[in-house]
Amino acid sequence: MKTHLLSISLLLLSMGSCVNKLDYDNDGFENHLVIEGYIEEGDYPVVMLTKNKPFNIEASEETVNEIVVRWAKVIVSDGEKEEILVGHPAPGYFPPFLYKGNIIKGEAGKTYTLKVIYAQYELTAETTIPKTVPIKEITIAPSEKNDSLRQLTIHFDDPENQKNYYKIYTQVEGKNVRYVPALGGNLNDNLFNGQTVSCKISQGIEKLPAKNVHSDFYKDDIIYVKLCTLPAFGFEFWKDFENEIINGQNPFIPANKNLPTNIRGGGTGIWCGYGKYEMRILNEIKNRQ
């Protein structure tokens, strides 16, 4: 039996637009909690919880209110201490509610355990935070598409003799409330182990359906770029997630695949640790020589 799941992230991408009901059979549908949780190096853990829904629902504000889980017990442990995360409204997130810690901060090399207790569920997951890889430089050049746009390229040195996975995020001041995953920003070092990497940064899609979206940035934008390192599972999850976003824009290839999960105990979703390096860019023309 195939279970169709609507995760918090996929719902986020479908809201704000008219979404037609998909013609899927609900036979075999199973209830799950959906977890989207992370802990970044130098920051506190964040967890968002929802209930899953079949694919043939209509996305609406009422749908969001129905699926948000607000009364769970969410516990994070670093192997030495643990804390119960506090749930609170979170403007700028969608759905606008999350659980956040204020004691345990992420450290590279450490393993973090998540436990979620809600109703009949007791879900667990583990993740580690890989060592951060710093950004060497971000260069800016005029876009070939439009005189008012600028193209950004990120440069960093991939460490030798180790397997590395990367995820790039951007945030435009005044436009994005939080970081948005860059399109095509999921990388592994199969082809560039131990080398200097230069990768064009393309703006991510914050909400679907996407209209008037530029992969480049406007010349007056103030941009924050975040280069994250993540475990192998996190890379596989976000690679599949991005494929679903792209397929979801194609009416002939609907997004109907269940994403992989590292959540145990009857739930789905992701709990992931990230190393991170951030850089603020004033978008002025700086051609790389």
Q: How many domains does the chain contain in total?
A: 1
Does any domain span residue 117? yes
pLDDT at 39 over 50: yes
Does any domain span residue 75? yes
Strand partners, 282: 222
pLDDT tier, 137 (very low <50, low <70, confident <90, very high otherwise): very high
State the Cα–Cα distance between residues 80 and 284, nearest whole angstrom. 46
Does any domain span residue 95? yes
pLDDT, tens only, 140-169: 999 887 888 999 999 999 999 899 999 999
Give the pLDDT score at 31.
Answer: 73
Give the pLDDT score at 62.
Answer: 65
Does any domain span residue 277? no
Range with the lowest mean pLDDT among 103-107, 195-199, 204-208, 214-218? 204-208
The token pair that represents 2 in the structure block? 């195939």
State the Cα–Cα distance between residues 104 and 45, nearest whole angstrom. 7
Give the pLDDT score at 12.
Answer: 41
pLDDT tier, 286 (very low <50, low <70, confident <90, very high otherwise): very low
pLDDT, tens only, 162-200: 999 999 999 999 888 889 999 889 999 998 999 999 999
Does any domain span residue 76? yes
Does any domain span residue 33? yes
The dihedral formed by the CA atoms of 124, 66, 46 and 113, expressed in degrees to the nearest 10: 0
Task: Write the Ramachandran bin of 5: left for phi over 0, alpha for psi from -120 to 50, otherwise beta.
Answer: beta
Query: Could you tell me which residues come within 8 angstroms of residue 190 by beta carbon, excluding any fewer than 6 positions away?
Result: none
pLDDT at 40 over 70: yes
CB-based contact 3:32 (threshold 8 Å): yes
State the Cα–Cα distance between residues 67 and 55, nearest whole angstrom. 13
Give the pLDDT score at 121.
Answer: 92
pLDDT, tens only, 54-98: 655 565 566 667 788 999 999 999 999 999 999 999 877 777 799
Give the pLDDT score at 236.
Answer: 95
Does any domain span residue 279? no
Domain boundaries, position 268 = 8-129+261-272
Does any domain span residue 173? no
Mean pLDDT, the chain, rounded, equals: 82
How is residue 286 annotated by DSSP? B
Query: Could you tell me which residues come within 8 angstroms of residue 25 by beta carbon, excluding any fewer than 6 positions away?
Result: none
